[in-house]
Amino acid sequence: MNTITGKREGVPNLQDLLDAVPPDRTIACLPTHESLILHDGEKELGSIPLDGVVDVSLLVDSSIQRRYPIGRSMLLGPLVLLFPKKTVRETYRICIEWKEPKGEYHFTYIRIARRIMADHMLNAVKKSLAPEVRRELAQKASEVKERIVVSGKEQHQRPAETSPLITCGHCGMEFRKTDLPPGGKCPVCGKPLNIDGG
């Protein structure tokens, strides 16, 4: 562990992983009954335990950039300084303050490009902190696990079913095996069918 920065060497911090995501990619914050999973569309970046979340807030990082275009400066001369071209850049961050089970506090900032997406993510995270929502998510998770176990058992018990259809390898027509004429020849092209191969 580096005593100056407080970081463990070789182990990436969750915020470092979030900062490494390109600005054009949106980070999703997916609530489960146990944690908030942070995902960038390709891989899971990390998770924050819901029991440790202390506060969630929205930060607005807006900036105004002033430019003095050449065309304006030629037209207005020194008055261009009074009428700059302004560009407003709005960016937002969700700030999640949380505590690890070991007792360490962390601030995780999730960068979001649009206001509506930021509001939606903030509301989703706050909603996931409610006890009734967590109970509902836990119930759904247990139902899904039960379905997976039951479907896994059914898959092991089912015998291999053969298809009632047969396709002619020469002309590509498909027929029911019960409708084939005697002799095992295709009614369309007249060539023999491979009835055993299906």
Q: Quote the CA–CA distance of 44 and 30 in Å, as a whole number.
A: 10
Domain range summary for the chain, segments of one domain joined by +: 14-129, 164-193
122-126, 168-172, 192-196: least confidently modelled range? 192-196
Residue 152's pLDDT band, with cuts at 50, 70 and 90, is low
Q: Quote the CA–CA distance of 167 and 103 in Å, as a whole number.
A: 66
* 66: β partners: 86
Q: Is 36 exposed, middle or buried (0-12, 13-18, 19+ CB in 10 A)?
A: buried
Q: Quote the CA–CA distance of 129 and 99 in Å, as a whole number.
A: 14
More confident position, 187 or 119: 119
The predicted-structure confidence for 89-131, as pLDDT tens digits, reads as follows 788 899 999 888 888 888 889 888 888 888 998 998 888 888 8
Q: Which pLDDT score is estimated for 4?
A: 37
Q: Quote the CA–CA distance of 194 and 166 in Å, as a whole number.
A: 8
The predicted-structure confidence for 26-84, as pLDDT tens digits, reads as follows 888 888 888 888 888 888 888 888 888 889 999 888 777 888 788 877 888 888 778 78
Task: Choose among 81, 74, 111: nearest CA to 94.
Answer: 111
Average confidence (pLDDT) over 171-197: 73
Q: Are 59 and 93 in contact (CB under 8 A)?
A: yes
Q: Which pLDDT score is estimated for 5?
A: 38
Q: Which pLDDT score is estimated for 50?
A: 85
Q: Which CATH class is domain 14-129?
A: mainly beta
Provide the whole-model pTM.
Answer: 0.56
